[in-house]
């Protein structure tokens, strides 16, 4: 006996899987001006480097004689590839099959993507375009296979959160993204979307049914909405530009937390003295200037990669290189609300933008090109004091009795360290808190009037966590 029939069937399954949703579906996708998933992977990765995992996963269809007549492949493509010579795990939804809504095999492969990156300790790249599970489920679909998992299965979000702590994760929204793909998109160290993409929890029909409001996809989750909300880091005009930004982002980071960022060759002289810096900053302190020119003049030429430009525009954040080594950059943009500079000096470590960047730099060993936000002020405890925000969070064990208590504890610690300033917040309800001694390793906040051994200065916090205005 021979296994020729079975091996021929495997080869045919792989060939049928390359058809994706069929010629008509691929044609309609191209008419929208979009690339298919396989074309996106080819554009992102080095030529010929993609090695697909689970090509034969899907639903086969046989005739009465048991011969394979058709094959419905998994609508999630996953595999290993190389980006600028470095190995990565890359995957994404195939929109030409059911609009990217998961079929049974596609769902299993999407869950396996995080496990693959964790097992081999390589960066994970997700290319999203598709919806989550159907609201109607399997109703009216005739014979269908279950999409659920056994009750003893591990929660899907466990691997999604675990991968963020071990390897770099970069995602792109290259069309309509809803449901679980939208959750994966935001659970990334870097996310980018094209201008005509949308990121939604649910589509317009579901929103209209639930809230009786008719909103378009752009109004619910267009690029303009999410660039300002902070859900997305960057926005590009084309898919090619989005893929290029992912490749550039990964170039600043190591493969995992157990490695150091790679050094890049640079032709920028190490001893370069940029003469333009003399003219950028005016002598009159009341006049604004272009901080981005300062940043680009200080770092290696052409190495500054800005992120979250439209979210929190008073702060400039990004990655760059100094003498070929990766650094993080945080700077103030004085064109936006000058009084905010005082706010940044007081509570910049509590700003969500700085928290996210500090943890990214901390996790992957990236040095900071500007002032470390955890080193403002004077009264420090010697060399043993944690130098970065992430280290201080872990060492001091901030109390997490709700969002308000967590923010209050962090602000009390900051004021106890600085020993200066009053921070006032808007809102009808205010809580008067006193910064206490934090030498015990845990900040303690008490209402004004209960006494304070450290004699800290009182601060006023807004009830709903708004920005603090000095």
> Token digits for 139?
């109703």
Give me the tens of pLDDT residue by residue for the chain, a chain 470 residues long.
688 878 887 888 777 777 777 788 889 889 989 999 999 999 999 999 999 988 877 777 777 777 777 777 888 899 999 999 999 999 999 888 877 777 777 778 888 899 999 999 999 999 999 877 665 554 445 555 555 566 777 777 888 889 999 999 999 999 999 888 898 999 999 999 999 999 988 888 888 888 888 988 888 899 999 988 889 999 999 999 999 999 999 999 999 999 999 999 988 888 888 888 888 988 888 888 999 999 999 999 999 999 999 898 889 999 999 999 999 999 988 887 644 444 444 434 445 555 666 667 677 777 644 444 333 333 333 444 444 444 444 444 433 334 333 333 443 344 334 333 333 334 433 343 333 333 344 444 434 444 334 343 333 333 333 333 33
Query: d(Cα 317, Cα 306) in Å, to the nearest integer?
Result: 6
Query: d(Cα 68, Cα 462) in Å, to the nearest integer?
Result: 66
Whether the predicted model's global pTM rises above the 0.75 cut: no
CA atoms within 13 Å, Cβ hemisphere of 63:
4
pLDDT value at residue 137 = 52
Rounded to whole angstroms, what are the CA distances from 214 to 203, 205, 209, 218, 225? Answer: 10, 8, 9, 12, 17
Name 87's bridge partners.
82
Q: How many residues in the chain?
A: 470
Query: d(Cα 187, Cα 160) in Å, to the nearest integer?
Result: 7
Which domains does the chain show, CATH number per domain?
4-135+154-251 (3.90.226.10), 277-375 (3.90.226.10), 397-462 (no CATH)
Q: What is the pLDDT of residues 317-326, one digit of tens each?
A: 999 999 999 9
Q: What is the pLDDT of residues 155-185, one digit of tens each?
A: 778 888 899 999 999 999 999 998 888 989 9
């Amino acid at each position: 006996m021979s296994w020729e029939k079975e091996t021929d069937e495997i080869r045919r399954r792989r060939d049928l899987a390359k058809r994706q949703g069929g010629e008509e579906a691929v044609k309609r996708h191209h008419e929208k001006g979009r690339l298919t998933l396989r074309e996106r992977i080819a554009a992102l990765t080095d030529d010929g480097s993609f090695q697909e995992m689970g090509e034969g996963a899907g639903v086969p269809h046989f005739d009465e004689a048991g011969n394979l007549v058709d094959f419905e492949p998994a609508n999630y493509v996953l595999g290993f590839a190389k980006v600028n010579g470095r190995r990565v795990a890359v995957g994404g939804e195939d929109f030409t099959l059911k609009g990217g809504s998961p079929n049974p095999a596609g769902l299993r492969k999407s869950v396996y993507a995080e496990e693959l990156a964790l097992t081999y300790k390589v960066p994970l790249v997700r290319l999203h375009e598709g919806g989550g599970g159907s609201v109607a489920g399997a109703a009216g679909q005739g014979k269908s296979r279950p999409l659920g998992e056994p009750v003893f299965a591990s929660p899907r979000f466990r691997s999604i959160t675990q991968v963020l702590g071990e390897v770099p994760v970069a995602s792109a929204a290259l069309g309509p993204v809803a449901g679980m793909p939208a959750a994966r998109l935001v659970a990334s160290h870097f996310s980018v979307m094209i201008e005509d993409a949308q990121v939604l929890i649910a589509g317009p029909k579901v929103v209209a049914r639930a809230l009786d409001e008719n909103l378009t996809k752009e109004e619910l989750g267009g690029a303009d909405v999410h660039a300002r909300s902070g859900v997305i880091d960057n926005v590009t005009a084309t898919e090619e530009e989005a893929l290029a930004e992912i490749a550039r982002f990964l170039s600043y980071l190591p493969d995992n937390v157990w490695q150091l960022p790679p050094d890049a060759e640079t032709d920028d002289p190490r001893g370069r003295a940029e003469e333009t810096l003399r003219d950028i900053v005016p002598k009159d302190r009341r006049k604004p200037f272009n901080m981005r020119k300062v940043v680009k003049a200080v770092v290696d030429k052409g190495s500054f990669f800005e992120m979250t430009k439209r979210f929190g525009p008073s702060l400039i954040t990004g990655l760059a290189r100094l003498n070929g080594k990766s650094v993080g950059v945080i700077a103030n943009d004085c064109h936006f609300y000058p009084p905010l500079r005082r706010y940044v000096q007081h509570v910049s470590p509590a700003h969500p933008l700085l928290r996210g960047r500090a943890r990214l730099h901390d996790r992957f060993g990236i040095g900071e090109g500007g002032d470390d936000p955890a080193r403002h002020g004077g009264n420090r405890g010697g060399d043993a004091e944690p130098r970065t925000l992430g280290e201080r969070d872990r060492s001091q064990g901030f109390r997490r009795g709700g969002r308000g208590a967590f923010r209050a504890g962090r602000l009390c610690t900051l004021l106890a360290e600085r020993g200066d300033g009053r921070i006032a917040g808007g809102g009808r309800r205010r809580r008067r808190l006193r910064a206490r001694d934090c030498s015990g390793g845990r900040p303690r906040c008490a209402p004004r009037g209960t006494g304070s051994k450290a004699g800290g200065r009182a601060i006023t916090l807004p009830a709903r966590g708004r920005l603090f205005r000095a």
